[in-house]
Amino acid sequence: MIRKGHSTFLGIPPLLAVLGVLFFVASADVVDLSGNDIDRWSHSGSAFVKFYASWCSHCKQLEPAWNHLGETAPPGVTIARVDCQQEKSACARFGVKGYPSLKLIKEGQVYSFYGRRDPDKLREFILSKYETIKPEPFPAVPPSSATDAPANGGASKEKSAQGEGSNKKETDKETGTGGGQPIKSRVAELGDGNFTSVISTGVWFIKFYAPWCGHCKAMEAAWEDFALLHPTDGKGRRVMIGQVDVTANDEIATAFDIRGLPTLKLLMDGNMYDHVGTRATEEWARFVDGGYLQTRSEKIPLVHEHKGPDHTILLDDSNFEHLTQAATGATTGDWFVLFFAPWCGHCKKLAPVWRSVAASLKGRINVAKVDATTSTETAERFGIKAFPSLIFLRHGKMYSYEGPRSASALEAFAEGGYEGLEPSPVPPVPSLVSKTFSAARVFVSETQTRLLEFCHGSPSGAIALCVIGFIGGISIALILQTRTQQQRKRIDEKMQREKKKS
């Protein structure tokens, strides 16, 4: 009996090894690339790469479809992504000028995707449609000096070519002409806190930029020079020159739907006009002096300004139940809670409204927020599946809000509007067992991701995974065999005792 069981157990390791490999391969996910990881496809293999920026709303909207593509990718195609805020040199090599940029790398050729970004279209492209696109050769790694120059100095090629005269001009600009006093920049730095009030009057020509953007750095000196020219529009009005760092001002970047850098917009009389010409002072002067009339106008989007203290209470897994006492409905009062994700565009639009609600209800109702991407335990407890999600907690009951997201509507709901809804009981605090299972799920997910990154595009990695699976299977088989033998021995001993008694 034991021998038969032993042979059965010895058949388990290969099966576990195969199932383990299949499990990890079937769980294929999106691979984050860094440094020169992308060079593994410079001569062979296939990878579909998304070049993105964390502040880009279109990149965030693409995230679910891209993750789905990672799970259903055809065999032999790696689905990957590159964060251009972290990997500036890689994005510069591939000529990325807008976000998101999608590029299929296949057999040393690069095919750029243009079209509707839904899973079916993306999958169709990597299967066959890419053949209709003229490919570009895989870009070579630039010399280290060329790669480092923009990061260190931000100097453009044109500026370097000007030589000594250009350096003198920069020196004069910084120290003044003969007086030894620095000339104050005439470019206004705008942000979430002052944007709306500043641009509400006059005519503004705004540059949207990022500190890491090479093209932005290259035009920096010209932008300063243009501000010193005191340009005027076609009606003789002074044009003010400003700039916005989109990496530090998410609200403005989202409201203006900034996709490429640098982006230049002329704002006047409630309308805005996109500049799409060459980046030179003469071209900008023509544009603001009437050239903008040849382009399509759009209404200037509303950007809420953050003024005064933020009365919103930040909750997380560690303090949620202690502060809200949601399960017992005890002594801390009513709570209106926003569950959000940092990448969620609708959450960003709601943020200033939520601050206003918190200020208005201060002292009467606790207004709070939870980052569901980091406080996963609390998000799972309340069944959060979409962002933003709003829940009102009162006396151990909860009410889900699904109405308009205006300050007046939210305040009316918290001050009594919830009474017209059927409440649900507040979910209990997670037990130690459920917390353990949740931590185990996170551990398994992170382990899968690490193993995938280790194995993708690496035959030796796949072989290593098989070996690990085989060894793991052997170990489990031996453990099961030992336990079975011990159990059989106890049963035999028990039968012997009962036989003696009889």
Q: Contacts for 113-119 with beta carbons within 8 Å, 24 or more apart?
A: 117/62, 117/65, 118/65, 119/65, 119/68, 119/69, 119/72
Structure tokens at 15: 């099966």
**pLDDT higher than 60, residue 251:** yes
Residue in this structure with the two tokens 């203006």, named with its chain if needed: 256
At residue 70 the predicted structure's pLDDT band, cuts being 50, 70 and 90, is confident
Are the beta carbons of 309 and 300 closer than 8 angstroms?
A: no
What span, in angstroms and rounded, lies between the C-alpha atoms of 68 and 144? Answer: 37
pLDDT of the residue at 175: 32
Alpha-carbon separation of residue 62 from 26, 119, 197, 435 (angstroms): 22, 9, 33, 31
Q: Residue type at 400?
A: S
> What type of residue sits at position 420?
G
How far CA 90 is from CA of 64, 108, 379, 497, in Å, comes to: 24, 16, 36, 75
Question: Are 258 and 208 a contacting pair, CB within 8 Å?
Answer: yes
- Residue that the structure tokens 């995230």 belong to: 63
Give residue 257's pLDDT band: very low, low, confident or very high (50, 70, 90).
confident
Averaged confidence pLDDT in the chain:
78
The class that CATH gives domain 184-299 is: alpha beta
Which pLDDT belongs to residue 152?
Answer: 33
Give the mean model confidence (pLDDT) for residues 307-333. Answer: 86
Same fold, 184-299 and 313-425: yes
> Per residue in 490-502, pLDDT tens?
767 767 776 677 6
Q: Does the domain made of 313-425 have the CATH classification 3.40.50.2300? A: no
Q: Residue 313's pLDDT is what?
A: 95
Domain positions in the chain are 1-24+462-502, 33-137, 184-299, 313-425
Strand-pair partners of 313: 368
Region of poorest pLDDT, from 66-75, 123-132, 154-163, 445-454: 154-163
Least confident of 73-87, 331-345, 404-418, 422-436: 422-436
Taking domain 33-137, whether its CATH number is 2.60.40.10 is answered by no
Q: How far apart are CA 473 and CA 479, in angstroms?
A: 10
The answer, yes or no, to whether residue 460 has pLDDT greater than 90, is: no
pLDDT at 443: 61
Higher pLDDT, 347 or 4: 347
